Structure 1
């Protein structure tokens, strides 16, 4: 969102109170363009407005409200209201909501993406970042998460360090040069990775020295990681 639009939105809310509907928002903050209104609807920012049931409903109402050009239609916005109370669009699925969150803001205020997969991961004996703390040094473990950082220090003999986040914390994974050569695309491109290997749990410092890596998900989430810095 443009700074000008964000400031106008905040000013209107401070001066005139909460927005009552999509039409009210469009009328009071005319500087918001269609793209910005769509982003607000997609990330769930409009879900608490009166008459909006979910994100796709917000998109529908923003589309209708955006057609009210000129003062005459804005004064008589009720003529554009639907006669039926049935909603024309289905609610977004969990995955669609996550995709919208990360595309619009780079994060989600709901559950972490890994939380939705935890039951399936437990059946595969994949440990969370928190559970790794309870395991012994030298145990063979499986863990998985969303890659938030990739580092390849010049002093690390070619090793790569992955930081993988789940709903419980961060797991650190060591990737050897041989494994990197075998799984180069997974290491450099995958957003969600499952790693297997030996746990290093010494003095509260925990790493997994990976012997295998695989893609967990190909979700279209626009996840941003910090790579090789």
Structure 2
């Protein structure tokens, strides 16, 4: 104020300008910041609208970042007509790439090797380089020509990366990798190792999905809850999609896998949560009192049953939670399920060959939500 007075402004005007600036400073954005953010938002919306395939691949390749997980990005892309193809040792690069798609004017997204947990970029760069010289003929051909460590080949097998190239599912590929050891010798540089055809137990559909989630955090085949839906339907638990269709004020019970939790410091203890099932996403509002009463489930649960009331304002729908129950242990049942039948298959809970295990996989899917404060 004194500076403005010194520059010839009246005290009344100087104090009025100061109060306006102080009020704006408590909530306002600089214009340059607003303009920059608006440009990024517009460009992102335009890209997703006109090039959803490019948008999805770019977001996945930029991970870890932002609010949404790879699983959510892939699901949203597929719901907007983008074809997403599985990881393949003969076609995938480290990053997600675009391939000619089945729809005119639209490319398909090939998932990249970067999504496989524990895979090393250096080993895969070498594999991709050798692959460019001549296509691989078999798993042993990769091991012989590239020298890829057996442990890395096992991760590729667990991700079902040999299925398209060699017709070997996770279990069959892992069985053939077991005969490889150490490093290939120069004597065998041009010798193809015979890969025995073994009679293996078929993986259940549930086991395949469990392996997918354990290996790269998503599955292109089934959502985990699809295998448990018959059980929940008998208890009157509806899908998220059906909940989104209900009128304002309707009481409902849903089940969902936690995607994100938001606990803003300015929200007075309110928790915002996003869940999903095989049908759709659903946003929850959990008041502080409910959050404290159901604290363990709200803060630590991965698979939840939520009872509450639909809040609808136009096209915006939330579920106001009244009760939250943690049922994460239900995920342990998935490996024993085939298709979506409510049936436990005897003898399929393990994951090995007759006389020896091929995979020692954990029976349950681990839910890794994104939590923000």
What TM-score bracket applies, with the shorter chain setting the length?
A: 0.7 to 0.9
The residue aligned with 2:141 is 24
Q: Say whether the 8 Å CA contact 2:259–2:275 is kept in structure 1.
A: yes
Aligned length: 222
Does the 8 A contact of 1:145 with 1:192 survive in 2? yes
- Matched with 1:100 is 211
Report the Cα distance in structure 2 between the residues aligned to 1:213 and 1:203, rounded to whole angstroms. 26
Alignment RMSD (CA, Å): 2.2
User: Unpaired segments of 5 or more residues in structure 1?
Assistant: none
Task: Give TM-score, length-normalised by structure 2.
Answer: 0.55
Among candidates 271, 287, 294, match of residue 160 of structure 1:
271
Question: 1:65-112, CA deviations, whole angstroms, 9 ceiling, x for partnerless residues?
Answer: 33674133554444x543xx442x423333332332222212222212
Q: Is the 8 A contact 1:68 1:77 kept in 2?
A: no
Which structure has more relative contact order (CA 8 Å, sep 6+)? It is 1
Does residue 187 in structure 1 map to residue 302 in structure 2?
Answer: no
In the alignment, structure 2 segments of 5+ residues that lack a partner are 1-118, 332-363
Question: Could you tell me how far apart the structure 1 residues matched to 2:269 and 2:195 are?
Answer: 63
Could you say if the C-alpha distance between residues 86 and 38 of structure 1 is closer, same or farther in structure 2, counting changes exceeding 3 Å?
closer
After superposition, the C-alpha distances for 1:150-201 in whole angstroms (9 at most, x for unaligned) are: 1111222211111001222211112222222222221122111110011112
| Kept after mapping to 1: 8 A contact 2:307/2:324 | yes
SS in 2 for 1:48: helix
Q: Which has the larger radius of gyration?
A: 2
CA distance in 2, matches of 1:44, 1:154: 43
Q: Conserved in 1, the CA contact under 8 Å of 2:156 and 2:162?
A: yes
Cα distance in 2, alignment partners of residues 5 and 25 from structure 1: 12
Give me the whole-angstrom Cα distance separating, in 1, the residues matched to 2:239 and 2:132: 43
1:198 counterpart = 2:342: no
Give the strand-richer structure, 1 or 2. 1
Q: Does 1:34 align with 2:145?
A: no
Distance 1:205 1:93, change over 3 A: same
Q: Paired residue for 1:12?
A: 130
Q: Please identify, of 135-144 and 69-78, the stretch whose mean Cα deviation from structure 2 is larger.
A: 69-78
